[in-house]
Amino acid sequence: MHRIIFTWAVFVFCCNGFAQTIDGNNGALETLKGKTTEQLLDILNKKPLSIKVPPEMRQERNNKARQSFEEQRRQKFEEERLLYAQTRKLLVEKGDSLIGLLSGKLQRFHTATFEKHAMMLLSEMGTPKAKQFLLDVTLGQASFNCDSVISSIALHEYLKIADANEVKQLLVSDELSIFLTTLRKHPRLINESSVFNRINRLLQSDNFNNRWTATNIVSDSPNNEEVIKKMRALTESLKTVAQLPKANERYQHDSIGTYSDVLCSAIAKTLISLQDDKQQLNEIAKNLNGLSRQWIVVVRAHRGDVSVKEELVSILQDNSALERTRLRLSGIRALGEIGTQDEIPFLKEISESDTYELLDRGGPLLEKVNGAVINNTGERSLAVQDKLLSIDLWANARITYPVRQAAKQAIAQIEAKIRN
């Protein structure tokens, strides 16, 4: 009882403190129009609210008290957001005459809060002069020191208001982050010859993130333009995925598969989406072998090529592919798309006896095949047992069988086709 009273006392005290802060903000909202430009800019430099949940409240079992606290907290943050937005709105009305003053303030203030709101303000102004200022900050050509943080904010704000022709100048930047971020916003620009050549090089990069981003940019670009060029580049990338550093290490603690699995899956999905004569991919990929050949077979099956059905079944039967969960799941789904009555017995066997298990501990995932842990090496591997206490850390994890479930869905898909 004393604990609850104490917690409520902490709650009321904290909320009263927050109310005083926000009451000041509400008053400011009413009188903003009477403030000078300097005073409005000072508001944008104001330190953001920091409303931490008191330890007593974090442990409080009284849900009503906790919910009330969180609602008060949410309201304070929302009122602060509105204050900043209203301040910027008034400053936008000052027009280009504000930019010189803004530049001077950035040289003096240089706080993260002011930098963020200054870049948002320029974006909301949207004038040619404001655009140029954002561009200069992005490229590190402003009159003040532009670190990577403010340059990144400026880039995102510039991309909100610049058209495809205006952003082309960013694609010649030596900064890879500028190049890739611009293309994520305007993926159609990949069709420019020099741009595609750079993407092609990134698809062969030793850096996983670069390959991943380049693959997604190709995926986001129109799937009916420069198809053959994209197909060749993606196929070449697929051939060398296994050579990446950490290729066979676990990708994420809450995801299945390795770096190789994840990247191959992304490349495969992009190839599946490309619109062209099916024969083109067959010709481009005819000399592939090993893992890349297996993925291309799955891709061709998803694209409706029934001629690979026998090879697809062989891949799904191959013991060496048992740990390639994403490959098997995609392959089974593809078999559901091109399979007939003849494949149902094979899929039924998988649906009833496949040994792949996925253990879920409320976020972290662990994969097993035949009772043995798989895909759990590298920096992101998870502990399976507490060695000091000899306790199985996954004993109470929820167990599912995704491969079996995929096979059941494939059977249902084939049976639906037969019925129709």
Report the C-alpha gap between 128 and 142 in whole angstroms: 16
pLDDT for position 286: 84
Token pair of 373 as six digits: 């842990």
Report in angstroms the alpha-carbon separations of 104 from 107, 205, 347: 5, 41, 69
Domain ranges of the chain: 1-93
pLDDT for position 1: 41
Q: Which residues pair with 392 in a beta bridge?
A: 385
Report the C-alpha gap between 116 and 87 in whole angstroms: 14
pLDDT for position 24: 45
Report the C-alpha gap between 364 and 24 in whole angstroms: 44
**At a CB cut-off of 8 Å and minimum separation 6, what does 402 contact?**
256, 325, 329, 356, 358
pLDDT for position 357: 97
Taking the CB of residue 151, how many other CB atoms lie within 10 A of it?
21
Low-confidence ranges of the chain (pLDDT < 70): 1-30, 56-62, 110
Residue appearing with tokens 């610049």: 162
pLDDT for position 66: 77
Token pair of 338 as six digits: 């091109």
